[in-house]
Structure 1
Amino acid sequence: MNTGAPLPRAEPSALVIGEALTDILAGPDGRRRAVPGGSPANVALGLARLGHPVRLATRVGGDEYGRMLRRHLGENGVRLTDGSVVDAATSTATAVLDAGGVARYHFDVSWSLPPAATDPATTGPLAHLHTGSIAALLEPGAEQVVAAVRAARPGVTVSYDPNLRSALLGPAARERPRVEELVALSDVVKASDEDLGWLYPGHDTAAVAARWARSGPSLVVLTLGASGARAFWRHGGHRVRPAPAEVADTVGAGDAFMAGLLSGLLRAGLLGGARGERVPARDQLRAATGTWRLPAPVVGSLALAARTAAFTCTRPGADPPRRAELLD
């Protein structure tokens, strides 16, 4: 899989806020194995492997699962912010895989965020903030996440992936206002057709994504599994073709798509900022999506996202590629 000509080198730091947990994979044959997971942690891992400095504000325990997570993330270049390790059990998600490698999840999750984990004194200077999934909706930590996004947004760009886990949530009508608040606070949003189908039952998911693109974000991407994705902005839409892949399973594919998209936009200079300062990248992204046709750097970032997701599907678990692997 070739990403084409290398993009200009740019290394803005990113902060990811959200859960890191242990995925317990249960295959059709009944075998079980534990691997590191959690949607935000997977995005942080994907960004680090694609060459970006990343910090993760999360909640992991001091147990064996927590040690495994810290070791895995640290060996791949993801640094945990201070306060992310707590004296409690590490959360788990059991992924039951069908014969086609598609996962269905069952969760044992506790989520709260120690204040130090998102304190600017511990996170250091950053250019971009990403959040989503369980962390953005499950109390008591969800309000802390939204507060951190509100506080950081004046000086950084923001991305959000709802990655809804209905087993942990209340009715869609109750969750919808919080999701829409985070969408409006974000510059880039990625959601699956399953997310929007659950959140807006009976509505056309593409129409919902297009409406979101008029509510605040510069770019909204609707992922469609094996059918690729569709990107929406205020003035139009763009279809993203799926990259071919021999699927081992789909665990972490959406997170890999998010990481690839953010990587492309960061390297193109369309995301990033400095805390407390004007964010020219936000202006550039708005200008790029203020036309009827997406410019090449945005189209290239979407294609990179599709390739990153496809590569991840070729091997078991949430195991996103390194940049060198995509260039090979």
Structure 2
Amino acid sequence: MADEVLVMGESLIDVVRAPDGSVSEHVGGSAANVAVALARLGRSVRFATCFADDPHGRMIAAHLDRAGVRLANRPHSIGRTSTAVATLGSDGAASYEFDLAWEPEPPAVEAAPTAVHVCSLGVVLSPGSEVVHDVVSRLRESALVSYDINARPALTGSGPDLVERVERMVGSSDLVKASDEDLAALYPTLGLADAAQGLLERGPDAVVVTRGAQGAVWFSRTGSVEVASSPVEVADTIGAGDTFSAALVDGLVGRGDVATLGDAAVREALTRAARAAAVTVSRPGADPPYAHELT
């Protein structure tokens, strides 16, 4: 299908512990959030992931189906569905504890997608990370490859091994997105701009750094473009970065080579992504906007 996006990565259940002691369950996982957000924006999406045939897995399957996300592989390759316990602070920010299994079957790729998005734990955790790298290497020449680092040091650690695994995918990507927290975890001795420039030297055409309420910056070999965040009352930050990634990819698909985009096109894409993320943080859980909410 024209302008289809293939998303690869983890699906899980977010078990959210609120400051008032209440507990709720939501479908999550960085890649699942991106797939749903892209579908809600009207994009054709196929999703390679894994979850078990258990109650949590059926929650995930129903959530993806409601959004119109089509599965690109057989998901039931693991014995239990992954979970992340998200504990919310008084400011809405979340800290996570993971119970993750990541062993996906390779996706069926009948026709080359226009874009491939990979992210977070799916890129750095074995054995599934090798499936992700293999697919990216096969589609690298024909598709826009987008990578959201979305580091989870609590699960992966933050030492040289993580940096090596992240930089391996950076070198295979056209567009890399990282938060200021990601860069601080990977490169604690570098400032934000220096860390972003270091990633650019690995090969991508652009590196986008999100900074929460301070907005986002696009770094390329020709300069940088900065946009402000959209002011909003924060319910929580779950899924905000994933929504930003999805809206950014959606805004760039079909625009040609990322390296040749002018500042106006970059600013438009970043502003729309920031607006989409603002909608998500304004409501509980990873609940990304539909296209009509961004008009």
TM-score, normalization by structure 2: 0.96
Letter in 2 for 1:51: G
Q: Pick from 262, 267, 276 the counterpart of residue 299 of structure 1.
A: 267
> Is 2:200 the partner of 1:213?
yes
Q: Quote the RMSD (CA, aligned, Å).
A: 1.4
Question: Distance in 2 between the 1:226 and 1:62 partners?
Answer: 39
Which has the higher mean CA deviation after the structures are superposed, 33-42 or 143-152? Answer: 143-152
Distance 1:183 1:87, change over 3 A: closer
What is aligned with 2:242? 255
Structure 1 segments unaligned to the other structure (5+ residues)? 1-9, 271-280, 289-293
Q: Pick from 101, 110, 131 the counterpart of residue 118 of structure 2.
A: 131
Question: Distance in 1 between the 2:80 and 2:238 partners?
Answer: 23
> Is 2:9 the partner of 1:18?
yes
What is aligned with 2:58? 67
Question: Distance in 2 between the 1:25 and 1:148 partners?
Answer: 33
Q: Pick from 169, 178, 185 the counterpart of residue 165 of structure 2.
A: 178
1:87, distance to aligned residue in structure 2 (A): 5.2
Q: Would you say the 8 A contact 1:47–1:263 is kept in 2?
A: yes
Q: Pick from 91, 100, 103 the counterpart of residue 94 of structure 2.
A: 103
Deviations 1:67-88 (A, max 9, x none): 0111011111111123222351
What SS class does the counterpart of residue 315 from structure 1 fall into? coil
Q: Would you say the 8 A contact 1:214–1:234 is kept in 2?
A: no
Q: How do 1:80-91 and structure 2 match up within 5 A?
A: 80-86=71-77, 88-91=79-82
Q: Would you say the 8 A contact 2:248–2:273 is kept in 1?
A: yes
> Is 2:144 the partner of 1:148?
no
> Is 2:74 the partner of 1:77?
no
Q: Would you say the 8 A contact 2:225–2:263 is kept in 1?
A: no
Question: Distance in 1 between the 2:193 and 2:96 partners?
Answer: 25
Question: Distance in 2 between the 1:286 and 1:162 partners?
Answer: 20
The higher-RCO structure (CA 8 Å, 6+ apart) is 1
1:162, distance to aligned residue in structure 2 (A): 1.1
Deviations 1:234-275 (A, max 9, x none): 121111111111111111000011011111112xx22xxxxx
Letter in 2 for 1:320: P
Question: Distance in 2 between the 1:145 and 1:254 partners?
Answer: 20
Which has the higher mean CA deviation after the structures are superposed, 196-205 or 170-179? Answer: 170-179
1:11, distance to aligned residue in structure 2 (A): 5.2
What SS class does the counterpart of residue 171 from structure 2 fall into? helix
What is aligned with 1:196? 183
1:166, distance to aligned residue in structure 2 (A): 0.9
Q: Percent identity?
A: 45
Letter in 2 for 1:120: V
Letter in 2 for 1:223: T
Question: Distance in 1 between the 2:208 and 2:2 partners?
Answer: 24
What is aligned with 1:277? none
Q: Pick from 105, 108, 115 the counterpart of residue 119 of structure 1.
A: 108
Distance 1:211 1:235, change over 3 A: farther
Task: Report the number of matched residues.
Answer: 295
What is aligned with 1:28? 19
Q: Would you say the 8 A contact 1:220–1:233 is kept in 2?
A: yes
Question: Distance in 1 between the 2:42 and 2:3 partners?
Answer: 10
What SS class does the counterpart of residue 139 from structure 1 fall into? coil
What is aligned with 1:285? 258
Q: Would you say the 8 A contact 2:47–2:73 is kept in 1?
A: no
Which has the higher mean CA deviation after the structures are superposed, 296-305 or 312-321? Answer: 296-305
Structure 2 segments unaligned to the other structure (5+ residues)? none
Letter in 2 for 1:317: G
Q: Would you say the 8 A contact 2:49–2:73 is kept in 1?
A: no
TM-score, normalization by structure 1: 0.87
Question: Distance in 2 between the 1:133 and 1:97 partners?
Answer: 20
* 4+ runs deviating over 3 angstroms: none
